[in-house]
Structure 1
Amino acid sequence: MVAHDHDVDVIVDDGLLIQGSRILAGRSAKREPTRLAAVRRAVFSDPEHREQVKAALAAARPRRVLVLGTSREMVLRIVRALELPEPSRWISIYDVATPDEIRQARRVRRQQGKHVIPAPTFEVKKSFSGYLVDPLRLFYRSQHARGGLLVEKSAVRPTFSSMGRFFIAEHVVAAIATRAVSEVEGIAGVLRVRVNSDPDGVDLVVEVVVRRGAPLHGILRHAQLEAIHMVEHMTALNVRRVDMVARRVDLGHETGEAAPDGGGAFD
């Protein structure tokens, strides 16, 4: 809302460079394991991180940049690290939020460990695989927008939250994908699910048996979408890719046989 009212092109917030609904560059401080590491990430202490965001800023060529920080000193550290001009205007949190709103935000952060990122959930999940990300949609009345403006943000519980961490084993992800794919009409069985995971998300390879006469492309596409939806819904992981491989064709009860390995693939 502040960015819209002041015609801001990009936002620098907690280690991220955000433009509109896209995260252009950076790594969020909310992914760091400790508060100290989070602060260092937010002020761009890491040279590689700093240079990545500087390069993205140079490519974006913004006229106005909104730098968010918890103090003037923090904002100045960020500005100098990214070699931005000195701030031309300072905006206090008390200028844009009421005391009740500030107290409520602090209470949510303290009790639920949640922080807000000014980007929509579909974009944030790319950088927060395995984190609980809740969408926030706010209708904002602005003097610059007729009829109001729909603002999308995301609430994230950071790694360093005192509420603890959770882990999801790869065999659990495989089991969820197996269940989702098995329920698709035209799939006779799931032979194997391979899971490759890293901090940015998971890739799956699902090998299946399809029923004779089923439209192969449509069945595999449906199974792929079901696997993506179920894994993301139940684990909060960012599913980057699901490759569906039809290894066999179920010939039915008449022969009791199946076609040999081979089949088709869909990704």
Structure 2
Amino acid sequence: MEVYSLSGPSGTGKSTSALEFAHQYGIEGIIDDGLLIVNGEKLAGTSAKFEKNTITAVRRAIFHDEAHQQAVIKALQEVDLKSLLIIGTSDKMTKQIADRLDVAPIDHFHYVTDIRTTKEIQLAKFIRETQGKHVMPIPHAQVEQNFFKRFVQKGREIFFKNKKIGETTIVRPDFHQETIDISKSVYLQVLTHELSKHNGITRFDIAQLTVDLMPSMTIVIFLKAPVTYDVREVVRGLQQQISDSFYLHFGIEPEYINVVVKGIK
């Protein structure tokens, strides 16, 4: 069996990208959070997301329980896969899982930064930290909903070259009870502060600010006279200043920052 590893910090979107990644590389099976997934459906195992706390969730994910370990080993032997993808938070974790499931050594190591953009990772982490949402790369119908009394919903159907290869389910596990609700007024205060302290602006108006997932904004500004500077450079510097400030405070960059130069004062 050819074994692949995909690792990256928690909440960076590994499970969201798992089905597409596996299909792209022609990988038949996936080990993710204690589950064996084949052809986009759960074949064996129990998800770590069913656990009540993070300690037992980690133990479940690395197949610490012998009965769980043996059940997945048996399923792997019966299905006779030619390739397998193991997902974890680090190379150390995926190697440990490979050892526990008797499929070591790992042949190929990949990382979430190889398959997701910086903005996609930022967004995934932001959603995890603020809303507590976790993704399972199996259909909604295969998730035992009594384990998730607080939150279970359908994710999205995954397509590769117009062919459906699976679907995801969004859950909020019991061990992830803390969420953060950021008011729109907080985004507005940070944006106002950054605009107020900029030396090249005499007046501004925030024409539009949306915060559905990633913040997006349109700002109308009046420049300081006399214009003895490169206007484009000033505006781009302002965009970068706002982007850096949002990343510092919220861990996410705005989806777009549109700046309209209305006049000179």
TM-score range, shorter chain: 0.5 to 0.7
1:45 and 1:38, CA in 2 relative to 1: closer, same or farther beyond 3 A?
A: same
Percentage of pairs with the same residue: 35
Which is bigger in relative contact order (C-alpha 8 A, separation at least 6)?
Answer: 2
Match runs of 1:1-267 below 5 Å? 1-125=20-144, 128=147, 130=149, 132-138=151-157, 140=159, 142=160, 145=161, 147=162, 149=164, 151-163=166-178
CA distance in 1, matches of 2:176, 2:94: 23
**Deviation, structure 1 residue 133:** 1.8
CA contact (8 A) 2:33 2:87 kept: yes
Deviations 1:172-194 (A, max 9, x none): xxxxxxxxxxxxxxxxxxxxxxx
2:41 is aligned with what amino acid? Answer: R
Q: Tell me what 2:6 maps to.
A: none
**Deviation, structure 1 residue 125:** 3.4
SS in structure 2 of the partner of residue 85 of structure 1: coil
1:139 and 1:33, CA in 2 relative to 1: closer, same or farther beyond 3 A?
A: closer
CA distance in 1, matches of 2:126, 2:48: 20
**Deviation, structure 1 residue 136:** 1.7
Superposed CA RMSD in Å reads 1.9
1:12 is aligned with what amino acid? Answer: I
1:30 is aligned with what amino acid? Answer: K
In structure 2, list runs of 5 or more residues that go unmatched: 1-19, 180-265
**Deviation, structure 1 residue 12:** 0.3
SS in structure 2 of the partner of residue 90 of structure 1: strand
CA contact (8 A) 1:119 1:154 kept: yes
Deviations 1:139-188 (A, max 9, x none): 54x4xx3x454641111111101239xxxxxxxxxxxxxxxxxxxxxxxx
Deviations 1:17-49 (A, max 9, x none): 111232111111111111111111100011111
**Deviation, structure 1 residue 111:** 1.1
CA contact (8 A) 2:148 2:173 kept: no
1:33 is aligned with what amino acid? Answer: K
CA contact (8 A) 1:125 1:133 kept: no
CA contact (8 A) 1:23 1:124 kept: no
